Amino acid sequence: MNLEDIEREIRSCKRCDLWKFKTNYVSGEGNPNARIVFVGEAPGREEDIQGRPFVGRAGRYLTEVLSRFGLDRRDVYITNVLKCRPPNNRDPTPEEIKACKPYLMKQLEIIKPDVIVCLGRFSSSTILSEFGIDFKGISRDRGKVFEVEKWGKRIHLIPTYHPAAVLRNRSLSDYFERDVKTALDILKRRRKTLLDFI
Ligand code: URA
């Protein structure tokens, strides 16, 4: 199974009612061999229209932060916990998360990234709990690096604020950008370790 197979499954999904309200399914995009994956909450208005993740205001900010650190968004993989937009951007319900989560977990299993950056509380609580970690809230856990063994390798999970929250409260931007840098520093360190073996 590859990412296209999952996308095909998503495009006929009726596991919850959100498909009735959406314009497009938003499965995810980027490099299928990415070593880092960014996981948001759910598509917003612009994402629903375009069928692509993080292309609205919050997405432009995320893209800009990545490029400030020398990364093109096509280098990474970007997706969400929910693949359909909740009406009026309301919070995802626990039932919707439960129904949609298997798609995210399959995407992660195929990519097998070294680092997963969880954008916001819904993404952080969903992913951390999936890896057996108790999420204590975004302000307490953001910026922490959780190391887990999965898919036969070591994975780093980093919860941080959602880019939309940063746009609403600019005082969070230093934390957010520091957390993205932490994630990229881990990648650089891991690359060095790998090269040392060669
Ligand atoms: N917010 C999200 O959580 N995901 C998107 O794709 C866009 C905005």
The domain locations on the chain are 3-196
Model's pTM, two decimal places? 0.96
Residue type for position 6: I
CATH of domain 3-196: 3.40.470.10
What span, in angstroms and rounded, lies between the C-alpha atoms of 63 and 113? Answer: 19
- Name the 3-class secondary structure at 86: coil
Q: Facing residues of 36 across strands?
A: 115
Tens of pLDDT, residue by residue over 50-84, are 999 999 999 999 999 999 999 999 999 999 999 99
User: Which of 58, 52, 40 is closest to 126 using CA atoms?
Assistant: 40
- Mean pLDDT for the stretch of residues 1-29: 98
Pocket test for ligand 1, best of 26, 50, 54 (most atoms within 8 A of CB): 54
As a whole number of angstroms, the distance between CA 163 and CA 176 comes to: 8
pLDDT of residue 137 exceeding 70, the answer is yes
Q: Ligand 1: does its nearest atom lie under 6 Å from the Cβ of 54?
A: yes
Model confidence pLDDT, tens digit, residues 138-178: 999 999 999 999 999 999 999 999 999 999 999 999 999 99
Provide the pLDDT confidence category of residue 193 given band limits of 50, 70 and 90: low
